[in-house]
Amino acid sequence: MSESTVEQLISRRLRDLRKARGVTLDGLAAQTGFTKGYLSKIENGRKVPPIETLSRISSALNAEMAYFLRDEEESEAETGAVSIVRAHERRPVARGGTAFGYAYESVAHKKRHKSMEPFVFTFPAEFQDDVSFSHGGEEMIFILTGMVDFEVDGKSTILSPGDCAYFDASVRHRGRAIDGEATALVVIYQPDGGGKE
């Protein structure tokens, strides 16, 4: 699925769910801390929200993050105990993180009602000024390829393939690739399951 298709899917699903919940853009802005204008851009398909943003929106609307990434066929099809997403079925979620060089691919977007959101994640080559991320729940990063300079709460650690970092996701964090591309399996856990759609 292309990035523009993901923008359209997220925008449509957000608008439909917000209206179904009876929440105005002003109300959603108040709940998430984002501006009404920013949320409007997401709803109109002009912005692909990074994971941190999508997490806050999904919590405010009592929905799973995956709800925004599944098309209608997948929403109907994946109600069983097992969900399989083939490598070619991965979905880009927030290209450029959105503007900071991070790239996410959802690897379990078909599964409904889950507490974890797993992604294959590509790190940018450089940190962008003072940009770092925080969101609810817990996060695990397992390095697949390359070397990563990983910062949590301002403390830097070098991670290599096979290394794993597990941390409270509300603590500011960020990472960058060292000498070439670096990828990781990232799993975000939200104890409340991110809500129900």
Enumerate domains of the chain plus CATH numbers: 3-81 (1.10.260.40), 97-189 (2.60.120.10)
pLDDT digits (tens, 9 = 90+) for 9-19: 788 889 999 99
Please report which confidence band the pLDDT of residue 96 belongs to, taking 50, 70 and 90 as the band edges.
very low
> CA triplet 87, 98, 92: central angle to 5 degrees?
15
- pTM of the predicted structure, to 2 decimals: 0.66
CB atoms within 10 A of CB 85: 18
* pLDDT of 97 above 70: no
Instruction: Note whether 151 and 110 are within 8 A (CB).
Output: no
* pLDDT of 197 above 50: no
The partner residues of 186 in beta bridges, in order of sequence, read 119, 141
pLDDT digits (tens, 9 = 90+) for 20-31: 999 999 999 999
Query: What are the CA-CA distances from residue 70 to residues 2, 26, 99, 154, 185 (Å)?
Result: 14, 26, 23, 35, 20
pLDDT digits (tens, 9 = 90+) for 65-80: 777 766 554 444 455 6
What is the reported pLDDT for 196? 41
**Backbone φ, ψ for residue 67 (5° rounding):** -55, -35
pLDDT digits (tens, 9 = 90+) for 136-189: 789 999 999 999 999 999 899 999 999 999 999 889 998 999 989 999 999 988
* pLDDT of 90 above 70: yes
